Structure 1
Amino acid sequence: MQTFRHGAAVWGVACPQRPSRVAGLSMAGFRVGDLHELRMVPHPSVTLLLEFGAGAPVLDSASGQQRGCVVAGPGLGSGGAVRARGQNVACVQVRLSPVIARAILGASPAELDGAVVPLGDLWGREASRIRERLGDAPSWQDRFALTDALLARRYEAGPPVDPEVARAWHRIVGSRGLTRIDGLAAEVGWSRKRLWSRFRSQLGLPPKHAAKLVRFDHAAHRLAAGESAARVAADTGYADQSHLHRDVRAFTGSTPATVAGEPFLAVDDLAWPGRGATAGP
């Protein structure tokens, strides 16, 4: 486990030694003695938070407080509305490409309706069993292996998304959100109405919003790396710096300067080397 320091906060961060057997799935482990009001910055993946141990992590959102193992669709924290806090927090955080999320969750991300949902609502007793097994595991690598085995089993048994939907998602991610959305339907051989409907119902967000979220994620990480807002706006497809500012405000409720210092982004290079979670299978 490595140590991440951000101001007065000190986190323990663990990474799997081997990649997941499921393409589009990545994970990291966190142990934090005092987690104080961490703003969740939107990310283009479905998020699973598998907590364990004696701590009491809490997610505060517009829909109320959630404790225990939870799941949220792409864009968790939009508008700066979700914050995490707690004492002696220990968890495995999993990022799922929306392309594989339906099979693993047993429900479309669209059914989450933008909310943070207790994992038990989707998995029943399996959610409490994985929590217990994570707590009993002797090491982080054992926890990652347990999590990966469970998610791989669920993925293999679950329904895939339409190939056309997957292709459209990969085009959006591969272009970092800059592909022409109006041309996606023609590329996959569907009508615009059919693609928009299937994309939204299977991945949890419409194509245009998906592209905005992917573009924002790329821009936010460049801001966190210390690049100027003007440079980031010019390089990531925004019309100008004001356009970037509006997008950052919409996604986080704050300014580019504030986002640049967010620990949620600063820890990514340590916890998610390569940040390949949105690539999908």
Structure 2
Amino acid sequence: MRTFMHGSAVWDVVCPQRPSRVAGLTMAGFRVRDLEGLQIVPHPAVTLLLEFGAGAPVLDCASRQQRGSLVAGPGLGSGGAVRARGENVECVQVRLSPVIARAVLGTSPADLDGAVVSLGDLWGREASRIREQLGDVPSWQDRFVLTDALLARRHEAGTPVDPEVSWAWHRIAVSRGLIRVDGLAAEVGWSRKRLWSRFRSQLGLPPKRAVKLVRFDHAAHRLVAGESAARVAADTGYADQSHLHRDVMEFTGATPAAVANEPFLAVDDIAWPAAEHPPRHTFPRELRPGRGPEVRPLPL
């Protein structure tokens, strides 16, 4: 367990000792005594929050609140409209690649319709059983093993997305959003209309929005690492610094300088150490021959 300190934020953070059995699934454990007004910054993953502590996290989303274990689609927090708070919070946070989220959750991210959904509303009594089981096991590593086994079973029994949709998502992700989406349909041999429709219905956002979100996420983490906005804009595919500023404002409601100091982003190097546990994404082999350049494992 490591202690994360950033301004007034003090959290205990734990990482699994082993990567998940499911490609595209990562997780981290958090213990926070006082979570006050944390702004949620959009991320290109489906978020699954499994709480089990004495206190329950609360997400304030515009005019409504969501308490306890929850699920949210890619881009949670867009516009700076979502904040988290709570006392004595203990939880396992899971990030699901959109291409595996439908199988794991039992519903498409598109069915979430951009909202934060109670896990109890989605899984019924199973959500309560998971909470009890996580509270009963003696250690964080046991909790990770339990969570991974549960989600692996759901993934194996679930319905996968179309391989063409999976290919298109990975092409976007591996390029960090630096790809022309108009060429994706030709790569998989589908019409543009068919790919756009399937991508949206199975992953929860259209391809152009996915490109924009992935590019923003990469840029935001470089801002947190201390790089200048001008350098980040030049290196991450923005037309200029003003273009970066507009996208950051759209996704967070804040300036690049403010986003660079967000604890939600700063904790990533501890909670999601990609160098230690890189996501093991695979690509549909049947789509590779003659379908554009070979793609390497996803770096996100």
User: What CA deviation, in whole Å up to 9, does each residue of 1:224-272 have, x standing for no partner?
Assistant: 0000000000000000000000000000000000000000000000000
Q: 1:269, 1:137 → 2: CA distance?
A: 27
Tell me the alpha carbon deviations over residues 171-194 of structure 1, each in whole angstroms, 9 at most, x when there is no partner.
000100011100000001000000
Give the TM-score taking structure 1 as reference length.
0.98
User: CA separation in 2, counterparts of 1:132 and 1:193?
Assistant: 45
Query: Which whole-Å CA distance do the structure 2 matches of 1:198 and 1:256 have between them?
Result: 33
- On the 8 A contact 2:224/2:266 being kept in 1, the answer is yes
Matching residue's letter, 2:23: A
The whole-number CA distance in structure 1 between the counterparts of 2:121 and 2:168 is 29
Q: Deviations over 1:89-110 (max 9, x none)?
A: 1100000000000000000000
Q: What SS does the aligned partner of 2:270 have?
A: helix
2:36 alignment partner in structure 1: 36
Could you say which residue in structure 2 is the equivalent of 1:53? 53
My pick for the range that moved more, 114-123 or 102-111, is 114-123
Alignment RMSD, CA only? 1.2
Which residue matches 1:242? 242
- Residue 8 of structure 1: how far off its partner (Å): 2.2
2-side partners of 1:259 and 1:21: how far apart? 33
Q: CA deviation at 1:56?
A: 2.5
Counterpart of 1:56 in 2: which secondary structure?
coil
Runs of 4+ in 1 over 4 A off after TM superposition: 275-281
| Aligned residue number for residue 82 of structure 1 | 82
1:94 correspondence with 2:120: no
Tell me, in whole angstroms, the C-alpha distance in 2 between the residues paired with 1:162 and 1:257: 39
Indicate the SS of the match to 2:44.
Answer: coil
2:198 matched to which residue of 1? 198
CA distance in 2, matches of 1:244, 1:65: 31
Distance across 1 between alignment mates of 2:55 and 2:112: 26
User: Helix, strand or coil for the counterpart of 1:36?
Assistant: strand
Tell me if structure 1 keeps the 8 A contact 2:9–2:263.
no
Q: Partner of 1:5 in structure 2?
A: 5
Q: How does 1:57-206 map to 2 (within 5 A)?
A: 57-62=57-62, 64-206=64-206
- Contact persistence 1:26–1:96 (CA under 8 A): yes
The normalised TM-score by structure 2 is 0.92
- State the one-letter code of the partner of 1:148: D
Is the Cα contact below 8 Å between 2:23 and 2:279 reproduced in 1? no
Taking the aligned partners of 2:209 and 2:84, their CA distance within structure 1 comes to 24
Q: Give the equivalent residue in structure 2 for 1:221.
A: 221
Q: Does 1:260 align with 2:260?
A: yes
Quick check: 1:13–1:270 contact (8 Å CA) kept in 2? yes
Once the two structures are superposed, residues 23-73 of structure 1 have per-residue CA deviations (whole angstroms, 9 ceiling, x without a partner) of 000000000110011000000000001111211310000251001100000
Structure 1: runs of 5+ lacking an equivalent: none
Count of aligned pairs between the two proteins: 281
Moved more, 2-11 or 249-258: 2-11
Task: Please list every run of 5 or more consecutive structure 2 residues that lacks an aligned counterpart in the other structure.
Answer: 283-300
Tell me the distance in 2 between the aligned counterparts of 1:69 and 1:168: 30
Partner Cα separation in structure 1 for residue 279 and residue 198 of structure 2:
19
Does the CA-based 8 Å contact 2:36-2:86 persist in structure 1? Answer: yes
- What is the match of residue 296 of structure 2? none
Deviation at 1:280, TM superposition (A): 4.3
Name the amino acid aligned to 1:270: I
- 2:287 alignment partner in structure 1: none
- The C-alpha deviation readout for 1:108-166, integer Å capped at 9, x for no partner, is 00000000000111111111110111111100000000100000000000000000000
> Is the Cα contact below 8 Å between 2:110 and 2:204 reproduced in 1?
yes
Is the deviation greater in 217-226 or in 118-127?
A: 118-127
Superposed displacement of residue 277, structure 1? 7.9
Matching residue's letter, 2:111: E
Match of 1:230 in 2: 230
In structure 2, C-alpha distance between the alignment counterparts of 1:56 and 1:147, rounded to whole Å: 18
Query: 1-side partners of 2:63 and 2:127: how far apart?
Result: 21
CA contact (8 A) 1:61 1:81 kept: yes
In structure 2, what is the Cα distance between the partners aligned to 1:101 and 1:186?
A: 25
**Cα distance in 2 between the residues matched to 1:88 and 1:129:** 20
- Percentage of pairs with the same residue: 82
Query: Are the counterparts in 1 of residues 59 and 66 from structure 2 also a CA contact under 8 Å?
Result: yes
